[in-house]
Amino acid sequence: MKNIAIFASGSGTNAENIARLFHQGNRIRVAVVVSNKKNAGVHQRMEALGVPTLYLPNSVWDNDPAQVVDALRPYAPDLVVLAGFMRTIQPAIIDAYRGRMLNIHPSLLPAYGGKGMYGHHVHEAVMAAGEKQSGVTVHYVSDEIDGGEILMQQSVDIVPGDTAETLEAKIHPVEYSLYPRAIVAALQRLDNDGLPSSHAVTEVSATPERAEADHKAPEVPAAPPVPSADEEWAGVLQVKYSDSEARSAAERVSRQAQPPVPTQQPPAVPPRTLPDGERPKSYLAWSVAVTILCCTVAGIVAIIYSASVSSRLSAGDMAGARRASDRAQGWIIASFVLGVLWATLWVPISMLKTVLF
């Protein structure tokens, strides 16, 4: 299991996308999300996913970076991932995670990077310059803002009528697709040689030299679709896993919404699939609970009707007593049949549902 720590300051849609995607597998997990904003949306998103979050104020990030490193230590991150983190990272933090810290930037770096270039400021600058293309860059964090080695890039076309807002809306889904793959590639590098910056493994890359030379958006081939965390992880690290694990991974992939979400909303939430073995247990619990409920209902109704039978008997109303007695019997039989039917048919019906849908 590889641990990721995410730094985020804002809404946290990238953080959520990463956490959800890797939650599908069991090779990589988001161990903690750290924010410099107490009320950032990312806290709620992570709370909903059960991912721990920490808040450290700007004064700590700026004046006591060792405290940030200390706070991360219990989570043993293999990789630190900046996802919309809007604060300059102090050298002490970069040094602690040099070559193990990634950032995502919403332009084709080195164009439109550096101080003051973040979020919508980037898109406004790109539109004001009349660019025909923008894109997304994932790069290692270095001492220079947005200046570290580029790991992956993907371009986005700008068409007539586009605004900074529509460009941002186009860029977000590309980020959701690109960042997880860059994370896997960075972890792969670390596992290969422990020297993340030595050999480029850029599957979708643009040479920074060329981009710098003409300051235009480089030609970048389209990125392949995102594989499941299990598939990718098993593939890149040659991790062996059994056929049944592979099958359940494939099932998960077919059930989850793989294509990136075409708006700024976080990606569609794939249904949470229970690990093998857990589902029958929960069905059994349901069956037992419903059977007990049916028996309890039958018991209560029977008690009510027997009270009615005895009061009618003492009033000499034989016909009324018989009716009450018949009803009591009917209820008991109906509840019993329902309980048995539920208990015996629930498992096969649920299994059929799983197969069909």
- What's the min distance (Å) between Cβ of 189 and ligand GAR? 22
Could you say whether residue 176 binds ligand GAR (CB under 6 A)?
Answer: no
User: Considering only residues 23, 119, 202, 237, which one is a binding residue for ligand GAR as defined by CB under 6 A?
Assistant: 119
User: Considering only residues 13, 36, 134, 177, which one is a binding residue for ligand GAR as defined by CB under 6 A?
Assistant: 13
Could you say whether residue 105 binds ligand GAR (CB under 6 A)?
Answer: yes
- What's the min distance (Å) between Cβ of 173 and ligand GAR? 11
Could you say whether residue 10 binds ligand GAR (CB under 6 A)?
Answer: yes
User: Considering only residues 51, 79, 89, 104, which one is a binding residue for ligand GAR as defined by CB under 6 A?
Assistant: 104
Residue 4 · residue 32 · CB < 8 Å? no
Residue 134 · residue 106 · CB < 8 Å? yes
For residue 60, CA distances in Å to 56, 101, 142, 319 come to 6, 19, 20, 84
For residue 334, CA distances in Å to 71, 195, 299, 327, 347 come to 60, 70, 12, 10, 21
- What's the min distance (Å) between Cβ of 47 and ligand GAR? 15
Could you say whether residue 173 binds ligand GAR (CB under 6 A)?
Answer: no
Site string for ligand GAR, 143-172 (x = CB under 6 A): ------------------------------
Measured from the CB atom, is 104 or 126 closer to ligand GAR? 104
Site string for ligand GAR, 53-92 (x = CB under 6 A): ------------------------------xx--------
Could you say whether residue 12 binds ligand GAR (CB under 6 A)?
Answer: yes
Stretch that binds ligand GAR, among 117-125, 219-227, 249-257, 343-351 (CB under 6 A): 117-125
Could you say whether residue 175 binds ligand GAR (CB under 6 A)?
Answer: yes
Nearest to 153 by CA among 213, 211, 215: 211
Stretch that binds ligand GAR, among 99-107, 148-156, 210-218, 270-278 (CB under 6 A): 99-107
Measured from the CB atom, is 83 or 324 closer to ligand GAR? 83
For residues 238 and 70, give the distance between their C-alpha atoms in angstroms, rounded to a whole number: 33
Stretch that binds ligand GAR, among 118-126, 234-242, 276-284, 286-294 (CB under 6 A): 118-126
Stretch that binds ligand GAR, among 98-106, 229-237, 244-252, 283-291 (CB under 6 A): 98-106
Q: Which are the catalytic amino acids? A: 105
Stretch that binds ligand GAR, among 11-19, 247-255, 332-340, 347-355 (CB under 6 A): 11-19
Number of residues that bind ligand GAR (CB under 6 A): 15
- What's the min distance (Å) between Cβ of 154 and ligand GAR? 12
Could you say whether residue 331 binds ligand GAR (CB under 6 A)?
Answer: no
User: Considering only residues 99, 106, 173, 339, which one is a binding residue for ligand GAR as defined by CB under 6 A?
Assistant: 106
Measured from the CB atom, is 11 or 36 closer to ligand GAR? 11
Beta strands 53-55 and 150-157, pairing class: unpaired
List residues near ligand GAR by CB under 6 A. 8, 10-14, 83-84, 104-106, 118-119, 122, 175
